[in-house]
């Protein structure tokens, strides 16, 4: 599933290439089940001009000149790509034909993602985003540390909890815990403030590095122009169960925390 860095990379790419472009027509090969219906969505966007593209949590937000916002949640296999106009392809769900002859497409092979259009002021009332926690790139590590210390829950589960901190998924939780030297099963109440601050400092560094490297491409993710990411080449632990730790040479192990596989080094990340 695309996490904060991947959606941020897409948002930045689209903001540079589609801002100022007007939606001339819309083609709908087949929207996903959770998407807004074609009948209500299309009239909201026809003739509208893109004013900005941004991200909140793991959601891609395309703002329009009438105050409406197109919201894309990519889930596991969703893609939003801007490029030359072309015919609809197998997994395309909706195609926005722009006034310069280009195409903004939303494709989703597994159909778990969705697109919805919120009218002026409606996005602020969307329950999904209202429950999202603070942004880790915009919030001081000291403030984020306060949200996990004292919690009687595994620190990995707290990182994955979108109401605790927004946008973090399995990849970046594992990588930041490794850099901070914290075992994923350690309870928040046993992490301590100093180590919690270090954790969120490392989380920010991991996210910023991933954004700089165009995100992580493991199976389906591509950026706004169809290019793969490169941060997967920098993984220390994620997906490396049974391989040697890059820091100490020990064998990496995996456990299940909050229903997700968590890979760690038992030497560098001792449980407390």
Among 52, 134, 260, 266, the one annotated catalytic: 260
- Alpha-helical (H) ranges within the chain are 4-18, 38-45, 127-130, 141-145, 155-160, 170-180, 188-191, 193-212
Backbone angles phi, psi at 137, to 5 degrees: -85, -10
Q: Following CA atoms 113, 163, 238, 76 in sequence, which dihedral angle do they give, to the nearest 10 degrees?
A: 0
The answer to whether residue 58 is catalytic is: yes
103 touches 95 (CB < 8 A): yes
The answer to whether residue 3 is catalytic is: yes
The answer to whether residue 260 is catalytic is: yes
Q: Is 97 annotated as a binding residue?
A: no
Quick count: other Cβ atoms within 10 Å of Cβ 146?
Answer: 13
Among 3, 6, 63, 175, the one annotated catalytic: 3
Measured CA to CA, the distance from residue 204 to residue 272 in angstroms comes to 24
168 touches 3 (CB < 8 A): yes
The answer to whether residue 136 is catalytic is: no
Tell me the CA distances in angstroms from 43 to 36, 47, 85, one per residue in order: 12, 9, 21
Q: Is 225 annotated as a binding residue?
A: no
Residues comprising the binding site for DNA? Answer: 91, 110, 151
Residues annotated catalytic, as ranges = 2-3, 58, 260
Residues comprising the binding site? Answer: 91, 110, 151
């Amino acid at each position: 599933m695309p996490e904060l860095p991947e959606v941020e990379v897409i948002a930045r790419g689209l903001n540079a290439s589609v801002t100022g472009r007007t939606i001339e027509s819309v083609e709908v090969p087949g929207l996903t089940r959770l998407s807004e219906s074609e009948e209500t969505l299309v009239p909201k966007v026809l003739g509208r001009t893109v004013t900005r593209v941004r991200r909140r949590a793991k959601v891609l937000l395309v703002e329009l000149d009438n105050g409406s916002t197109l919201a894309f949640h990519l889930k596991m296999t969703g893609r939003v790509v801007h490029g030359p106009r072309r015919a609809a392809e197998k997994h395309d769900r909706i195609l926005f034909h722009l006034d310069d002859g280009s195409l903004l497409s939303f494709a989703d092979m597994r159909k778990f993602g969705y697109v919805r259009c919120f009218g002026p002021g409606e996005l602020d009332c969307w329950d999904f985003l209202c429950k999202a926690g603070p942004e880790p790139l915009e919030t001081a590590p000291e403030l984020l540390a306060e949200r996990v210390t004292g919690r009687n829950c595994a620190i990995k589960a707290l990182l994955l909890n979108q109401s605790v901190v927004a946008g973090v998924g399995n990849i970046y939780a594992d990588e930041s815990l490794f850099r901070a030297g914290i075992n994923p099963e350690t309870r928040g109440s046993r992490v301590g403030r100093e180590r919690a601050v270090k954790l969120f400092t490392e989380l920010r560094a991991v996210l910023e590095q991933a954004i700089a490297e165009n995100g992580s491409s493991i199976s389906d993710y591509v950026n706004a122009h169809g290019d793969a990411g490169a941060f997967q080449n920098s993984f220390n632990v994620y997906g490396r169960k049974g391989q040697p730790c890059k820091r100490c040479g020990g064998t990496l192990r995996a456990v299940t925390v909050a229903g997700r596989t968590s890979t760690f080094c038992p030497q560098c990340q001792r449980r407390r």
